[in-house]
Amino acid sequence: MKWPGLVPLTQRLLYGSKDAPKATYSPGVTPTTSRDYESMNQYYRWFRQDELVRGCIVANAFFACMSQGFETVLEPAEPQELSEQEKEKLLEDHAYVKSEIDELNKRVNLDQTLFIAEVKRSIYGKCGFEIVVDEDLIPESLLSLESVSLKPKLNESWELTGFEYKGKSDFYQPEEVLYFTNLGLEADYEGLSDIEPIIDVCKTRHEILRKDLPEISMSLWAPFLFIQADTTGLSREAADQALKDLVKAIKPGKRVVVNQSVEGQVLDMKPDIPGLTSLLDKLELMILANFKTPRFLVGKPVENRATAYAELESYVQGPISNIQRYFKREIERQWYDPQTRRILEKEEKLKENQPLPVVVKHRWNPMRVSDIYQMAAAVAQLWGSYGNGPIGEKREKVWELMGWDPAELEEEK
């Protein structure tokens, strides 16, 4: 895509303000500092509150972006026009380009950035990172921006002209932001949230787990007791006090003696626990099916090893491959190509309209399903049923063994 109004690279600031990010930090107003779930963005709320939703999104992001890592590969821009000797010479002469790109990736922690990008675009449908540069216009970090505050701006030809941020129009130029969408069905640069189809499921699970089950647990060991006391002849104040004293005196296993007419009736509630449990299982399956995450990756036991292996194989070849394919193309277009041009302009005085002699490609390391399954199965055995295995309830150890981000546990405390 050509962005309108571009001038030669040497005459403009491609990557935003020097020395500091354009976006500013306001203490106490970032999304993660609040626990007022009702006022949160509805998609982010259920990522925060529903442990299964969070587990699925984090598992998908981890296996797609961090499980096996990635490598960069230097290739000729037009390999079909070169002989093998010419290709080898070209790559040898430009090996420094790959080295600088690798150093940049390390500098901005690109693998962690892609992990965060997958989590956020799954939640919000879109996400962006400001490319923060040093005084030499070399990227030094990628600043994660609030997705709900970042709005793409397009002209009548559907060309991206910039981004509005926190109500400030044209706050960013297109090249100042790494921008990713999820299920971008239209050309409007607005994606779709993966949480949107299961909002009602999340609400139902929340009601059952946080409200219904605690009330049911109470009613199972302490049934409701209906008491009728005859307070005839007592003043209103005396009658109220007598009822209060009676309520205080009635305790499980205690004898109560009164000199008034008192009748009691036990209302034994018999909730359908098996039916409620079955409903919870179905709600869990709906969430797992929505994110296409294998059960055992989020701590849900499986009965058949062969079925689990086949499920994981489909998971890697389907959703994970799709995520990786998307990021590969976007990273090459938005990150590697512009950085390659910047490096060649500096080192070889490459002109703006001159095509790149070499390009850097993003290659995900192959993921072996057997290794993932064996590790997950081993961790599940160490965890045991309800945390009664050799590693007990040490969730930190589970996260460490699986290679997941321990910061996710810190957010829950």
Q: Is residue 333 part of a domain?
A: yes
The pairing of beta strand 262-267 with beta strand 160-165: unpaired
Mean pLDDT of 321-341: 96
Q: Are residues 393 and 308 in the same domain?
A: no
Tokens 């989590």 belong to 119
Q: Are residues 92 and 178 in the same domain?
A: yes
Q: How many helices (H) and strands (E) does the chain have?
A: 15, 10
Residue 250: the pLDDT is: 67
Identify the weakest region by mean pLDDT among 74-78, 231-235, 355-359.
231-235
Identify the weakest region by mean pLDDT among 27-41, 138-152, 172-186, 340-354.
27-41
Mean pLDDT of 119-142: 94
Residue 225: the pLDDT is: 62
Q: Is residue 281 part of a domain?
A: no
Residue 31 has pLDDT above 70, yes or no: yes
Identify the weakest region by mean pLDDT among 47-56, 172-181, 200-209, 382-391.
382-391
Q: Is residue 293 part of a domain?
A: no
Q: Are residues 233 and 165 in the same domain?
A: no
Q: Are residues 349 and 385 in the same domain?
A: no
Report in angstroms the alpha-carbon separations of 274 from 271, 284, 299, 309. 9, 15, 21, 29
Residue 301 has pLDDT above 90, yes or no: no
Residue 224: the pLDDT is: 59
Given a contact cutoff of 8 angstroms between Cβ atoms, the answer to whether 16 and 143 are in contact is: no
Q: Are residues 48 and 193 in the same domain?
A: yes
Q: Is residue 273 part of a domain?
A: no
Report in angstroms the alpha-carbon separations of 288 from 8, 158, 297. 49, 36, 10
Residue 226 has pLDDT above 90, yes or no: no
User: How large is the C-alpha radius of gyration of the chain?
Assistant: 30
Chain segment 242-290, per-residue pLDDT in tens: 777 777 766 655 555 565 666 655 555 666 677 778 888 899 999 999 9
Q: Are residues 123 and 194 in the same domain?
A: yes
Boundary residue ending a domain (367, 386, 405): 367
Residue 145: the pLDDT is: 96
Report in angstroms the alpha-carbon separations of 398 from 57, 297, 305, 375, 406. 17, 11, 20, 11, 10
> 230 lies in which domain range?
224-267
Q: Is residue 86 part of a domain?
A: yes
Residue 190 has pLDDT above 90, yes or no: yes
Q: Which DSSP state fits 292?
A: T
Identify the weakest region by mean pLDDT among 90-104, 129-143, 233-247, 358-372.
233-247
Residue 217 has pLDDT above 70, yes or no: no
Identify the weakest region by mean pLDDT among 236-240, 326-330, 391-395.
391-395
The secondary element (H helix, E strand) that includes residue 245 is: helix 236-249
Given a contact cutoff of 8 angstroms between Cβ atoms, the answer to whether 403 and 66 are in contact is: yes
Residue 159 has pLDDT above 70, yes or no: yes
Residue 385 Rama label (left phi>0; alpha psi -120 to 50; beta): beta
Chain segment 91-130, per-residue pLDDT in tens: 999 999 999 999 999 999 999 999 999 999 999 999 999 9
Q: Is residue 63 part of a domain?
A: yes
Q: Is residue 212 part of a domain?
A: no
Q: Are residues 118 and 233 in the same domain?
A: no
| pLDDT band, residue 308 (cuts 50/70/90) | confident
Which residues on neighbouring strands pair with residue 83, listed in sequence order?
Answer: none
Residue 276: the pLDDT is: 79
Phi, psi of 207 (to 5 degrees): -60, -40
Mean pLDDT of 400-408: 57
Number of domains in the chain: 3
Q: Are residues 193 and 231 in the same domain?
A: no
Q: Are residues 76 and 109 in the same domain?
A: yes
Q: Which DSSP state fits 252?
A: T
- Nearest CA to 91 among 360, 376, 378, 405? 360
**Whole-angstrom Cα distance, residue 31 to residue 35?**
9
Mean pLDDT of 300-306: 70
Q: Are residues 373 and 350 in the same domain?
A: no
| pLDDT band, residue 232 (cuts 50/70/90) | confident
Alpha helix stretches (DSSP H) within 70-198: 84-93, 95-108, 110-124
Q: Are residues 113 and 44 in the same domain?
A: yes
| pLDDT band, residue 370 (cuts 50/70/90) | low
- Give the percent of the chain with pLDDT over 70: 73
Boundary residue ending a domain (351, 367, 383): 367
Residue 156: the pLDDT is: 93
Q: Is residue 4 part of a domain?
A: no
Q: Are residues 184 and 327 in the same domain?
A: yes
Report in angstroms the alpha-carbon separations of 355 from 76, 77, 328. 11, 8, 21
Decide: residue 77, CB within 10 A, 0-12 exposed, 13-18 middle, 19+ buried.
middle
Boundary residue ending a domain (212, 243, 267): 267
